[in-house]
Amino acid sequence: MSYAMNAFLVDATAAARAAAAVILRKADQLSSLTIMSKGLNDFVSEVDHDAEREIVKILSQAYPGHSFLCEEAGYQGCCDSEFTWIIDPLDGTTNFLHGFPQFAVSIALLNFGCLECGVIYDPTRDELFTAVRGGGAALNGRPMRVTEKSGLAGSLLCTGFPLWYPSDNSTYFDMMRTIVAEGANIRRCGAAALDLAWVACGRIDGFWEMGLKPWDIAAGILLIQEAGGIVTDFAGGGSSLETGDILTAGPTLQTQMYEAFFPYADQLPIRRP
């Protein structure tokens, strides 16, 4: 099936836009939202739940035999399905609750363990990042590629550090000091899905983080791979979706990041409790 005619992508896009409409309707009502804590510095609001239900409703109607792995509702649907939709209805909830315009909807489809398609939609900028396995990646329908940075000096990298487990931040700070000493610039934007989309389209040269969840990174992994980037865990393997540890950039820079972070391998992995 071609990229343009991929039915999965069409339906995932429709679901992402519907969820975004839910989010934007509530964006000017932040003071009246019901907000709950899932853990230290980890929040969920009624918007997350409402947006997630909208996504599942649309996709389950289109694909009643599929299963769903959702951030808020967990695993549901047909347990023996070859297809699983991985859904983050609002990545960057803390940003959203502060009126900080850096959040997105993320949807990916897993087929027998392979990422089939991915959609990340940024409702504040009306930017739709899409990818189909073997079919390339696009931003609002235009092909996108990762950057071809040859070294850490002058690169723009993004990360996140575990506010849910502050004692582990020392590892992150050590890693940051190492690459800053090599001339890299670092940002911490607070929405991993959107960070990965920005790597795929070339706004950010590379990204790393540990202890993420599948819904944070599934769509972004495919976007970057289809945009010519490399995605590994910190051992250089392909288990990011399982471990939540991700290190990604264009081929040359990714290798340099891996080498810079190798001395910290014995302090990893960091896992979300």
| pLDDT tens for each residue of the chain, 273 residues long | 445 448 999 999 999 999 999 999 877 766 655 555 554 444 456 788 889 999 999 999 999 999 999 987 778 876 778 999 999 999 998 898 888 999 999 999 999 889 999 999 999 999 999 999 999 999 999 999 999 998 999 999 999 876 655 555 777 888 899 999 999 999 999 999 999 999 999 999 999 998 899 999 999 999 999 999 999 998 889 989 998 899 999 999 999 999 999 888 777 665 554
pTM for this one? 0.91
Q: Are 119 and 128 in contact (CB under 8 A)?
A: yes
Domain ranges of the chain: 7-143, 156-267
Say which CATH architecture domain 156-267 belongs to.
3-Layer(aba) Sandwich (3.40)
66-72: long-range contacts at Cβ-Cβ below 8 A with a sequence spacing of 24 or more? 69/214, 69/215, 70/215, 71/213, 71/215, 72/44, 72/48
Q: Which amino acid is at 204?
A: I
Q: If DSSP states are collapsed to H, E and C, what string results for 136-200?
A: EEEECCEECCCCCCCCCCCCEEEECCCCCCHHHHHHHHHHHHHHHCCCCEEECCCCHHHHHHHHH
Q: Does domain 7-143 have CATH number 3.30.540.10?
A: yes
Q: Would you say 201 and 227 are in contact if contact means Cβ atoms under 8 Å apart?
A: yes
Q: Strand 206-209 and strand 74-77: pairing? A: unpaired
By C-alpha distance, which of 270, 222, 267, 272 is closest to 248?
222
Q: How many CB atoms lie within 10 A of CB 176?
A: 18
Query: Position 196: which residue type?
Result: L
140: CB partners within 8 A, 6+ apart: 126, 127, 128
Residue type, 266: D
How far is the C-alpha of 218 from the C-alpha of 38, rounded, in Å? 21
